[in-house]
A and B are shown apart, each in its own frame.
Chain A
Amino acid sequence: MCGIVGIYLKNKKYNKQLGKLLTGMMNNMASRGPDSAGFAVYNKSSKFKYTVCLKENYDLKDLKKDLKNKLSNTKYKLIADHVVVESSSKPEKALPHIKKIKEIDLVGYGKSIEIFKQVGNPKDVVKKFSLDKFSGSHAIGHTRMATESAITTDGSHPYSTGEDECLVHNGSLSNHNNLRRTLIKNGIEFKSQNDTEVAAGYISNSLKNKTSLKETLTNGLKDLDGFYTFITGTQKGFAVLRDEIACKPAVIAETKDYVAIASEFQAMAHLPDVNKAEIYEPKPGVVYSWGS
Chain B
Amino acid sequence: MNFDLSKKTLSDVNAFLQKIDLKSNQRDFVIKNPLGNHALCAGLQDEIKVTIQGHVGYYCAGMNKNAHIIVEGNVGTGVAENMMSGIVHVKGNASQSAGATGHGGTLIIDGDASSRCGISMKGIDIIVKGSVGHMSAFMAQSGNLIILGDADEYLGDSIYEAKIYCLGKVQSLGADCIEKEMNEKEINHLSSILKAQNIKADPKKFKRYGSARSLYNFKIDNVSNY
Q: Are B55 and A264 in contact (CB under 8 A)?
A: no
Q: Tell me the complex Cα distance, A268–B38, Å.
A: 14
Q: Are B96 and A249 in contact (CB under 8 A)?
A: yes
Render A130-173 as a binary contact track against B, CB cut-off 8 A, 1 for contact. Answer: 00000000000000000000000000000000000000000000
Q: Does A283 contact B (CB under 8 A)?
A: yes
Q: Are B36 and A266 in contact (CB under 8 A)?
A: yes
Q: Are B36 and A246 in contact (CB under 8 A)?
A: no
Q: A264-B76, A281-B96 are in contact. Are A246 and B115 (CB under 8 A)?
A: yes
Q: Tell me the complex Cα distance, A251–B114, Å.
A: 11
Q: Specify which of B54, B112, B134 is in contact with A280 (CB 8 Å cutoff).
A: B112
Render A63-76 as a binary contact track against B, CB cut-off 8 A, 1 for contact. Answer: 00000000000000
Q: Does A207 contact B (CB under 8 A)?
A: no
Q: Which residue of A lies closest to B5 (CB)?
A: A269
Q: Are B114 and A281 in contact (CB under 8 A)?
A: yes
Q: Does A227 contact B (CB under 8 A)?
A: no
Q: Are B76 and A246 in contact (CB under 8 A)?
A: no
Q: Are B115 and A269 in contact (CB under 8 A)?
A: no
- What residues on A are CB-neighbors of B92 within 8 Å? 279
Q: Specify which of B37, B74, B77, B134 is in contact with A279 (CB 8 Å cutoff).
A: B74
- What residues on B are CB-neighbors of A251 within 8 Å? 74, 76, 95
- What residues on A are CB-neighbors of B54 within 8 Å? 275
Q: Are B77 and A249 in contact (CB under 8 A)?
A: yes
Q: Does B156 contact A (CB under 8 A)?
A: no
Q: Specify which of A246, A267, A268 is in contact with B134 (CB 8 Å cutoff).
A: A246
Render A263-291 as a binary contact track against B, CB cut-off 8 A, 1 for contact. Answer: 01111111000110001110110000000
Q: Are A266 and B57 in contact (CB under 8 A)?
A: yes
- What residues on B are CB-neighbors of A280 within 8 Å? 93, 112
Q: Does B160 contact A (CB under 8 A)?
A: no
Q: Are B112 and A265 in contact (CB under 8 A)?
A: no
Q: A246-B115, A249-B77, A269-B36 are in contact. Are A264 and B58 (CB under 8 A)?
A: yes
Q: Which residue of A lies closest to B77 (CB)?
A: A249
Q: Are B95 and A284 in contact (CB under 8 A)?
A: no
- Specify which of A247, A264, A265 lies most central, judged by the most chain B CB atoms within 10 Å of its CB: A265
Name the interface residues of A223-264: CB closer than 8 Å to any CB of B. Answer: 246-247, 249, 251, 264
Q: Does B35 contact A (CB under 8 A)?
A: yes
Q: Are B134 and A265 in contact (CB under 8 A)?
A: no
Q: Which residue of A lies closest to B53 (CB)?
A: A275
- What residues on A are CB-neighbors of B114 within 8 Å? 246, 281, 283
Q: Tell me the complex Cα distance, A249–B97, Å.
A: 11
Known: A246-B133, A269-B36, A284-B115. 18 other contacts (CB 8 A): A246-B96, A246-B114, A249-B76, A251-B76, A264-B57, A266-B38, A268-B36, A270-B35, A275-B55, A279-B55, A279-B74, A279-B92, A279-B93, A280-B112, A281-B93, A281-B96, A281-B133, A283-B152
A residues engaging B (CB < 8 A)? 28, 246-247, 249, 251, 264-270, 274-275, 279-281, 283-284
Going nearest first, the 8 A-B pairs with the smallest beta carbon separation are A266-B36, A265-B36, A269-B35, A269-B36, A281-B114, A279-B74, A265-B55, A246-B115
Provide 9 A-B residue pairs closer than 8 Å at the C-beta atoms, listed in order of the A residue. A246-B133, A249-B76, A264-B36, A264-B76, A265-B57, A266-B38, A266-B57, A283-B152, A284-B115
